[in-house]
């Protein structure tokens, strides 16, 4: 597995508000030459919703209210227990035991941005990035007919982690066509609910589910959570990159300083989500203002004796979350330009 010094170069989380895959990929190519990532396009189709996008092939999954084009607002993904799931579960476990991801390939209609991305070349890239929805968030979102999340069904939640592992493996195999170095982020927004009544699941179970998925990824592995969580869980997982919203949650992230230092000293990389994705807030920010905020976020590490230059070398800069929340092309490009300009400033000044 390669050790890459990212040197605070820019990366995105995944989603972009565009509906045309060509436009989205051209945007990625223009701003993210070092670490391009394939764009998820949730406004193009409900099939590109981050939970639906990785649902193909899962036993009993039903998608309702899907219009021929665009979004209707009435779409829903669920699991139908009335179907005989045994044969489908046997097929899933057979593919898992054979380490064969092909039956769980992500099709073009579920990921137009990925297929457009795979048709491009990125000659200057140091690595290419993909992303997949994590098993905790996926199984909390997908429910049965009684609105019970699959995470509370021991058999099905284990099947979820194995399916996502296979999809991550398939995705990684595709990305290797573009670059020998790959990065896969496991997106786990619902880890922010850990410890609440909404997620009464043990730390051991969460680590087991995450470990199943991460264990199938050969390249660099990251976990992204855009909210506050028990970061000891993330840092304890066998990952290379921890990605978080540094604009809003740096103070709570740094409550886990001993775990962060241990992770950092084992060549871990921190993805600092420092560019906000709320339009009104983004409009007020600049390179100097974000540099001040980032410096404050990194200060606990420097006070612990880690040289600032090393923090920069083992850092990535990202938006605080996916860009799909931004409504228009101009605002998206403003966020990306700010991300690139901040990265350029840091590397010129400190490296």
Contact present, 264 and 306 (Cβ < 8 Å): yes
- CATH number where 212 lies: 3.20.20
pLDDT of residue 81: 81
Residues sharing a CB contact under 8 Å with residue 265, sequence separation 6 or more, in sequence order: none
| Lookup: tokens for 51 | 């939970």
CA dihedral 21, 24, 30, 35 (to 10 degrees): -90
Q: What is the pLDDT of residue 67?
A: 86
> Is there a contact between 116 and 24 (Cβ–Cβ < 8 Å)?
yes
Q: For residue 244, give Cα distances in angstroms to 48, 113, 237, 308, 344.
A: 22, 24, 15, 19, 21
Residues 6+ apart with CB under 8 A from 89: 59, 155, 159
pLDDT at 311 over 80: yes
The values of phi and psi at residue 335, to 5°, are -65, -45
Mean pLDDT, to the nearest integer, of 213-223?
97
Q: Is residue 62 a contact partner of residue 79, using CB atoms and an 8 Å limit?
A: yes
Token representation of residue 45: 């189709």
Which band of pLDDT confidence, cut at 50, 70 and 90, is reported for residue 199? Answer: confident
CA-nearest of 168, 73, 67, 66 to 114 is 168
Decide: residue 232, CB within 10 A, 0-12 exposed, 13-18 middle, 19+ buried: middle
CA distance 284 to 299: 23
Tell whether 59 is covered by a domain.
yes
The answer as to whether 106 is a domain residue is yes
- What is the three-class DSSP state of 20? coil
Are the beta carbons of 243 and 222 closer than 8 angstroms? Answer: yes
pLDDT at 201: 84
Q: How far, in Å, CA of 9 to CA of 127, rounded? A: 12
Predicted confidence band at 42 (pLDDT cuts at 50, 70, 90)? very high
Separation of alpha carbons 131 and 4, rounded Å: 18
As a whole number of Å, the end-to-end CA separation of the chain is 24
Distance, in Å, from the CA atom of 247 to the CA atom of 251, rounded to the nearest integer, reads 10
Q: Please, is 103 exposed, middle or buried when counting C-beta atoms within 10 Å of its C-beta (0-12, 13-18, 19+)?
A: middle
Q: Is residue 161 part of a domain?
A: yes
Q: How many domains, in total, are found in the chain?
A: 1
Distance of CA 89 to the CA centre of its chain: 26
Q: What is the pLDDT of residues 142-184, one digit of tens each?
A: 998 888 999 999 999 999 999 999 999 999 999 999 999 999 9
Bridge partners of 318, per DSSP, are 273
102: in domain? yes
Tracing tokens 């045309």 back to the chain, one arrives at 20
Domain hosting residue 163, numbered range? 20-268
Domain annotation covers residue 15: no
Identify the pLDDT of residue 73: 83
Whether the predicted pLDDT of 195 surpasses 80: no
Average pLDDT taken over every residue of the chain = 94
Residue 137 lies in a domain: yes
Q: Are 160 and 96 in contact (CB under 8 A)?
A: no
Closest to 299 (Cα-Cα) out of 344, 254, 348, 345: 254
Q: Residue 200 pLDDT more than 90? A: no
Residues contacting 194, CB < 8 A, separation 6+: 201, 203, 206, 229, 230, 233
Listed in sequence order, the residues at least 6 apart from 222 whose beta carbon sits closer than 8 Å to its beta carbon are: 183, 184, 185, 186, 239, 240, 241, 242, 243, 269, 271
The pLDDT-based confidence of 196 (bands split at 50, 70, 90) is low
Segment among 63-67, 128-132, 250-254, 306-310 with least mean pLDDT: 63-67
- The residue-averaged pLDDT of 274-282 equals 96
Backbone angles phi, psi at 170, to 5 degrees: -60, -45
Residue 116 included in any domain: yes
242 inside domain: yes
Residue-wise pLDDT tens digits, 279-297: 999 999 999 999 999 999 9
Q: Average pLDDT, stretch 50-60?
A: 95
């Amino acid at each position: 597995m390669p050790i890459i010094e990212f040197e605070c170069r820019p990366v995105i989380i995944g989603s972009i508000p565009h509906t045309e895959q060509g436009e989205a990929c051209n945007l990625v190519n223009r701003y993210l030459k070092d670490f391009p990532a394939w764009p998820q396009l949730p406004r193009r189709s409900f099939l590109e919703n981050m939970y639906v996008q990785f649902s193909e092939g899962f036993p009993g999954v039903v998608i309702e209210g899907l219009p021929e084009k665009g979004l209707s607002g009435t779409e829903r993904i669920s699991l139908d227990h009335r179907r005989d799931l045994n044969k489908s579960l046997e097929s899933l476990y057979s593919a898992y035991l054979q380490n064969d991801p092909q039956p769980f390939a992500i099709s073009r209609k579920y990921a137009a941005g990925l297929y457009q991305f795979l048709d491009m070349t990125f000659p200057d890239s140091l690595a290419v990035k993909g992303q997949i929805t994590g098993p905790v968030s996926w199984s909390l979102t997908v429910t049965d007919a009684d609105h019970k999340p699959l995470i509370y069904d021991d058999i099905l939640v284990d099947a979820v982690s194995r399916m996502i592992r296979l999809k991550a493996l398939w995705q990684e195999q595709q990305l290797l066509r573009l670059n020998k170095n790959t990065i896969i982020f496991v997106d786990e927004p619902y880890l922010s609910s850990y410890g609440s009544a909404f997620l009464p699941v043990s730390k051991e179970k969460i680590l087991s589910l995450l470990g199943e998925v991460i264990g199938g990824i050969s390249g660099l592995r990251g976990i992204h959570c855009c909210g506050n969580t028990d970061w000891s869980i993330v840092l304890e997982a066998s990952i290379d990159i921890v990605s978080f919203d540094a604009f809003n949650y740096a103070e709570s992230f740094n409550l886990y300083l001993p775990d962060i230092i241990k992770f950092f000293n084992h060549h871990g990389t921190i993805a600092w989500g420092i560019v906000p994705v709320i339009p009104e807030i983004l409009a007020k920010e600049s390179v100097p203002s974000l540099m001040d905020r980032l410096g404050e976020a990194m200060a606990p590490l420097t006070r612990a004796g880690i040289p600032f230059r090393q923090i920069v070398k083992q850092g990535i800069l990202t938006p605080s979350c996916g860009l799909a929340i931004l409504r228009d092309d101009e605002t998206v490009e403003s966020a990306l330009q700010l991300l690139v300009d901040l990265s350029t400033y840091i590397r010129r000044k400190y490296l």
